[in-house]
Structure 1
């Protein structure tokens, strides 16, 4: 008590403008993220599971928030840190300086009528580090109005700037492969049950079992997004 405030001005108008741009409040975004992450992290591939984050996230948005949402796969660019030389992360394949996507190099995200949402964003620090990134990545949510998309990859200069390159054929191929696996349907049911009611208190854990072994306890991850791109 009695300490002087840090130098700087807290602009409530900036906060209001940020909140007005969001489709989901931070708490709801984190709820979806934590449930999906909690369901898949014991698979050992959470940092490479953009398909699970997108597909399960879109399902929860459609069912619990009545927000028409679809998954989209392709190449993707995101400015992580600004500066004279911005840190930009790319998802996809880079050949001769060109970014493209195929079955071995892609990202998957969610699109609504107005927004691009990526529920994997809170673990971008781990995902990028796994691929050799040397820059620090904030643990934020990625939820941006489509109208604010950059005009080109070369325009990614401010943190949160993004550029998406949808690949509709790849999207259909990956979605078909995902739903052809019965286990993925089971995981979606677990995520739905764990999510519960939007207005209800989030359960910190849930038991998951099948006929192939004893049930296991799934727990929510401790990581959450602490801000917005």
Structure 2
């Protein structure tokens, strides 16, 4: 993999997208930064982290899909790759909080943002942003956040983790066409709070109880409601109250 190291940048995703527009990039080109000033998550949420403590990367992936209809398969492949890599290091209770937050126990330790680019011939390229809390231990204003070091009580090598994660991404991208069912099964099994009655809030601020069943092929969260209906929700249409 080609690795581009930066001290500080507004956004590794924006940097890598700009680079891909100006020149031909090798597949799995990686940008890593010690500090990101305008990091972002799903739907414009802010991602902030202490300088030098965490893993802040963006990965350019060339033509990961043969069919645009498979677009959520890319999310599945990337999220499970991160989980697989963390399990190598014995991080406990690693789960995926729909759509792409990485959890350990009830704490958020990472987030993924995938930005796709559709070419005129239908091919898709992607910039995959990952923020992963590694050695930061101060989360005073973020009670639901934690890190590998805080949870495991030890210091981690960021470079080793980077190599492990990108290796797993490559392996899972290669499986999208031939082993997508296995990827989906792993993703569904590792969904945060799957099968557990949980309180939720919808976009109208109405609270209700439901049980996560899985995710649809188009990336919608499937929730079993109290009247035995299974409802599907898009991002920002539902919030888990945990």
After TM superposition, the score normalised by the length of structure 2 is: 0.28
Flag the structure with higher helix content: 1
Flag the structure with higher strand content: 2
Larger RCO (CA within 8 A; separation ≥ 6): 1
